[in-house]
Amino acid sequence: MKLKLIIKQIRVYQWVKNFLLFLPLIMAHRIGDYYSIINLFLAFISFSLAASAVYVINDIVDIESDKAHPTKKNRPFASGKLPLSYGYVIAPIFFAMSLGIAFLALNIEFIVILVAYIILTTLYSFVLKKIYIVDIIVLSFLYTLRIMAGAYTVDIPISIWLTEFSIFFFLSIATIKRYAELNLIKDNQESIARRRGYSVLDLDIMRQIGVTTGLLSVLVLTLYINSKSSDLLLKGKDLLYSSPELLWIVAVFALFWILRLWLIASRKQMVDDPVAFILKDKLSYILGIISAIILFLATL
């Protein structure tokens, strides 16, 4: 019973975010590089352990506000089903395992980014999450940091296009999370988000920020497709995309997907965490698979 609660507490489902480490390798068309895949798998485990440790710390810090939250009150610590003493053991052990893997098996660049991630997420848990706008910018940067970690792990140059896209895209996703939380607070007849810098009066501006940044991410994607960057030689030999015009289909899918998420959030059908919603959303899987096929066809 306690094992199930621990698994729930460390939020294993959130580990899906760390698959972003593989994105630079995929976008560089090096998925056949097995040595790099092994390194990225180790980086994935290291990042996931660190993230889970931070989630534990975050829930310890937020336990009082979580108890008053409509959905977070069901978390293991907030509900009282898992004693806080477990958190004080789990967090340092996970941090130690994460850093141990990094120091023993991965390069110094990854270690620097991992340490920066741990410091930034810890600051977020204690301070930054209370500052409006800063919190969602930090969340979007943490997603981008994962992509940077993956790139440095396998020594792939970081694309400015990918960086710009990810910042705007994940800023939109982070804003959905805050927007959904504010909707819950409003429905619970409260006015202020506990330990956050927002009130229900901010719902409209949060929606505007989220939709705008989502559209900006699609704009970056279309500018990339329309530029010569998609035709650039990879290592001076092979074309990245022999049929870059096919990428316009992916851009349309991205536009539809982002606007659909915001429509669902506006209808209050996204209870809290957009990541949890996406993992259960069949249409997201369908669009993702079709997009992957199109990306493959564009390289032929």
Region class of 159: left (phi > 0), else alpha (psi between -120 and 50), else beta: beta
Query: Residue 195: what pLDDT?
Result: 60
Does residue 231 register a pLDDT over 60?
no
Angle 84-105/2-9 helices, nearest 10 degrees? 60
* 177 shares a domain with 56: no
Does residue 282 register a pLDDT over 50?
yes
Give the count of domains, the chain.
2
Q: What is the pTM of this model?
A: 0.86
Cα 11 to Cα 9: distance, rounded to the nearest angstrom: 5
The domain that holds 84 is classified in CATH as 1.10.357.140
Last residue of a domain, one of 158, 185, 201: 158
Last residue of a domain, one of 158, 190, 217: 158
Banded pLDDT at 232 (limits 50, 70, 90): very low
Does residue 178 register a pLDDT over 50?
yes
* Mean pLDDT value of segment 259-280: 87
Q: Partners of 238 in the beta sheet?
A: 234
pLDDT in tens, 242-265: 778 889 999 999 999 999 999 999
* 240 shares a domain with 145: no
Token readout for 285 is: 């899987």
* 176 shares a domain with 126: no
Distance of CA 265 to the CA centre of its chain: 18
pLDDT in tens, 38-95: 999 999 999 999 999 999 998 888 888 778 777 778 888 888 888 888 889 999 999 9
Q: What is the CA radius of gyration of the chain?
A: 20
Cα 3 to Cα 62: distance, rounded to the nearest angstrom: 22
Query: Residue 248: what pLDDT?
Result: 93
Q: Which helix (H) or strand (E) holds 233?
A: strand 233-234
* 251 shares a domain with 136: no
* 251 shares a domain with 190: yes
* 184 shares a domain with 65: no
Among residues 156, 114, 147, the alpha carbon closest in space to that of 23 is found at 147
Distance of CA 186 to the CA centre of its chain: 26
* Mean pLDDT value of segment 273-294: 91
* Mean pLDDT value of segment 185-209: 77
Query: Residue 228: what pLDDT?
Result: 63
User: Domain span at residue 292?
Assistant: 159-300
Query: Residue 189: what pLDDT?
Result: 66
